[in-house]
């Protein structure tokens, strides 16, 4: 029965995110689900069914997918159809509501283990080589620049400021991606985050080295 719900959810999400921005499409969901299940196994805590459902459904309704829709309503109706219990549905919806980086600005609430794990998995997929690829794809999708030396980085204090930013993608590393390492909830994710963080730092070092080399050559 639960196996069927998971299978049906996979099919549903694949179809729903069919035309999503590539950093937020089915393959992002696939990676987050794999990471979340891995973290659960290592940590030996958290309800597997809730973690898997929430990982599969977490980006339904997120504006970053490029697909409009009231995610919570869509997921609620879908899970009701699947005969998932009311209690389980609320647990999934609560994870969806609190998982995002932008939600961390106005929430000091205590997290469920399941939220902590799915959030770590989602954040890990924003880091490292895949994180770099996703950031530039999303920036391009939004029409943002790769880099502009005249646009300084910002410190966002509210969800609105963060969401409306059209910053160059390089700035996004300083505004968000390099902060993720110290925001991990579980020890398993903290360990995985270290290498991905170092790789992003190296990428930025190379990026600026190449940028400056061009300037130095011209001056000679
Ligand atoms: P969250 O909702 O916590 O931000 P998501 O998984 O929905 O997490 O999406 C985050 C990803 O979207 C980032 O890792 C990055 O790849 C991309 N992204 C979001 N905002 C920007 C931006 N301004 N520039 C580049 N990439 C961005
Ligand atoms: Ni996500």
Q: How far apart are CA 57 and CA 142, in angstroms?
A: 23
Beta carbon of 21 within 6 Å of any ligand 1 atom: no
Mean pLDDT of the chain: 93
Determine the 3-state secondary structure of 85 from DSSP. Answer: coil
Closest approach atom of ligand 1 to CA 165:
23
**Atom 13 in ligand 1: which residue has the minimum CA distance?**
126
Identify the burial level of 131 via C-beta atoms within 10 angstroms of its C-beta, where 0-12 means exposed, 13-18 middle and 19 or more buried: buried
Q: How confident is the model at residue 68 (pLDDT cuts 50, 70, 90)?
A: very high
3-state helix vs strand vs coil in the chain, percent to 5 = 70, 0, 30
Beta carbon of 168 within 6 Å of any ligand 1 atom: no
Non-local CB neighbours of 58 within 8 Å, separated by 6+ positions: 29, 32, 95, 96, 99, 118, 122
Nearest Cα neighbor of 78 from 62, 94, 46, 56 is: 56
- Give the ligand with the smallest distance to the CA of 31: 2
pLDDT at 161: 67
pLDDT in tens, 99-153: 987 777 666 678 999 999 999 999 999 999 999 999 999 999 999 999 999 998 8
Phi-psi region of 15 (alpha: psi -120 to 50; beta: other; left: phi over 0): alpha
pLDDT at 110: 85
Q: How confident is the model at residue 73 (pLDDT cuts 50, 70, 90)?
A: very high
Q: How far apart are CA 118 and CA 39, in angstroms?
A: 9
The answer, as to whether pTM is greater than 0.85, is yes
In this structure, the dihedral spanned by the alpha carbons of residues 32, 136, 163 and 21, taken in order and rounded to 10 degrees, is -60
Q: How far apart are CA 179 and CA 53, in angstroms?
A: 27
pLDDT at 1: 84
pLDDT at 152: 83
The pair of structure tokens assigned to 114 is 């399941």
Q: For the residues 71-87, what does the mean pLDDT come to? A: 98
Q: For the residues 60-83, what does the mean pLDDT come to? A: 96
Q: Give the whole-number percent of the chain exceeding pLDDT 90.
A: 84
Nearest Cα neighbor of 177 from 116, 117, 130 is: 130
126 C-alpha to ligand 1 centroid (Å): 7
Beta carbon of 180 within 6 Å of any ligand 1 atom: no
- Give the ligand with the smallest distance to the CA of 28: 2
32 C-alpha to ligand 1 centroid (Å): 14
């Amino acid at each position: 029965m639960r196996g069927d719900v998971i299978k049906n959810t996979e099919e549903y999400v694949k179809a729903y995110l069919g035309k999503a921005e590539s950093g937020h499409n089915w393959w992002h969901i696939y990676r987050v689900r794999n990471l979340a299940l891995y973290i659960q196994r290592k940590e030996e805590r958290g309800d597997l069914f809730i973690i898997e459902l929430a990982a599969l459904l977490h980006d339904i309704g997120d504006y970053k997918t490029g697909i409009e829709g009231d995610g919570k309503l869509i997921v609620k109706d879908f899970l009701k159809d699947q005969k998932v219990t009311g209690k389980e549905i609320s647990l999934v919806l609560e994870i969806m509501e609190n998982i995002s980086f932008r939600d961390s600005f106005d929430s000091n609430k205590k997290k469920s283990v399941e939220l902590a794990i799915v959030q770590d998995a989602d954040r890990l997929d924003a880091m490292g080589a895949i994180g770099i690829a996703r950031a530039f794809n999303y920036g391009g999708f939004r029409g943002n620049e790769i880099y502009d030396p005249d646009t300084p980085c910002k410190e966002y204090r509210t969800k609105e400021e963060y969401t409306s930013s059209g910053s160059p993608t390089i700035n996004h590393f300083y505004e968000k991606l390099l902060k993720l390492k110290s925001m991990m909830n579980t020890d398993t994710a903290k360990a995985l985050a270290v290498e991905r963080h170092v790789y992003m730092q190296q990428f930025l070092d190379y990026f600026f080295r190449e940028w400056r080399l061009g300037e130095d050559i011209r001056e000679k």
